[in-house]
């Protein structure tokens, strides 16, 4: 039985995962008809409802960092979730990636030691579900790019990264590695919220969150 999530509404088999509880609320209001709060334990706000296509969907915050996200994913699996898309933020490493861009993870490289708890050693990568990834590309129709991301336990000023790693975050690699262990279908869609020392402002971030959330909803409604 789950010990961190205390569902107060049914959990759907499809979920959108976000780190920030505020983003969970924003997307619940944007994506769901008559959303009901499905979890508020430990500040991990979650919402369940129905999409315009008539499909059940849960939007669940996971907290900060890979270990928290992986723990929440494990509990969601116990509650019946089988497919999930992470909608999160990242920091650009590649000059070709700009603020507000949407990146679909083609793979996520472990650059933090916590990923070893999920069978992923430093420098190894986890891959997302190919069907969900291809569907995200189709849903965004040229409005995103497929990129390698690196996942850290923290994002220091000086970052060790490998060639081809376009951006960094704190969740995707452990989350995908955990999904593999759990037998779940998980993909990741990231918003570039920081690039060259500049931060995406609040209004632009919310617009990008809505755009990413709508794409994730489209994929999970099929």
Bridge-based pairing of strands 165-169 and 185-195 is unpaired
Q: Which of 152, 156, 175 is nearest to 165 (CA)?
A: 152
pLDDT at residue 95, rounded to an integer: 82
pLDDT in tens, 20-30: 999 999 999 99
pLDDT in tens, 51-108: 999 999 999 999 999 999 999 999 999 999 999 999 999 999 988 899 999 999 999 9
pLDDT in tens, 179-194: 999 999 999 999 999 9
pLDDT at residue 1, rounded to an integer: 57
CATH code that applies to domain 14-220 = 3.40.50.1580
b/e map 78-117, b = 16+ CB within 10 Å: ebebebbbbbbbbbbbbeebebebbbbbbbbbbbbebbee
Q: Where in the chain are the domains? A: 14-220
Termini Cα distance of the chain: 29
pLDDT at residue 17, rounded to an integer: 98
pLDDT at residue 159, rounded to an integer: 58
Q: Does 156 have pLDDT greater than 60? A: no
Higher pLDDT, 114 or 17: 17
d(CA 83, CA 106): 17
Looking at every residue in the chain, the average pLDDT score rounds to 93
d(CA 107, CA 171): 12
Task: Give yes or no for a contact between 134 and 198, defined as CB atoms under 8 angstroms apart.
Answer: no
Interacting residues of 197 by C-beta distance below 8 A, sequence separation 6+: none
| Residue positions counted in the chain | 222
Q: Does 215 have pLDDT greater than 90? A: yes
pLDDT at residue 154, rounded to an integer: 82
Q: How confident is the model at residue 116 (pLDDT cuts 50, 70, 90)?
A: confident
Mean pLDDT of 111-123: 87
pLDDT at residue 210, rounded to an integer: 98
pLDDT in tens, 28-60: 999 999 999 998 888 899 999 999 999 999 999
């Amino acid at each position: 039985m789950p010990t961190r999530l205390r569902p107060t509404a049914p959990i759907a088999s499809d979920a959108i995962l976000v780190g920030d509880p505020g983003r969970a609320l924003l997307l619940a209001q944007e994506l769901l008809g008559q959303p009901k709060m499905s979890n508020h334990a430990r500040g991990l706000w979650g919402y369940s409802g129905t999409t315009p296509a008539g499909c059940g969907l849960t939007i669940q915050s996971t907290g900060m960092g890979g270990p928290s996200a992986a723990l929440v994913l494990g509990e969601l699996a116990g509650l019946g979730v089988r497919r999930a898309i992470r909608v999160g933020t990242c920091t650009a490493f590649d000059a070709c990636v700009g603020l507000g861009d949407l990146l679909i993870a083609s793979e996520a490289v472990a650059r933090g030691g916590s990923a070893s708890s999920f069978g992923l050693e430093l420098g190894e990568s986890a891959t997302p579900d190919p069907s969900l990834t291809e569907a995200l590309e189709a849903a965004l129709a040229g409005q995103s790019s497929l990129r390698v991301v690196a996942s850290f336990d923290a994002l220091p000023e000086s970052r060790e990264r490998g060639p081809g790693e376009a951006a960094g975050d704190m969740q995707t690699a452990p989350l995908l590695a955990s999904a593999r262990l759990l037998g779940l279908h998980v993909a990741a869609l990231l918003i570039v919220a920081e690039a060259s020392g500049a931060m995406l402002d609040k209004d632009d971030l919310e617009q990008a969150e809505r755009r990413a959330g709508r794409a994730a909803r489209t994929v999970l409604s099929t």
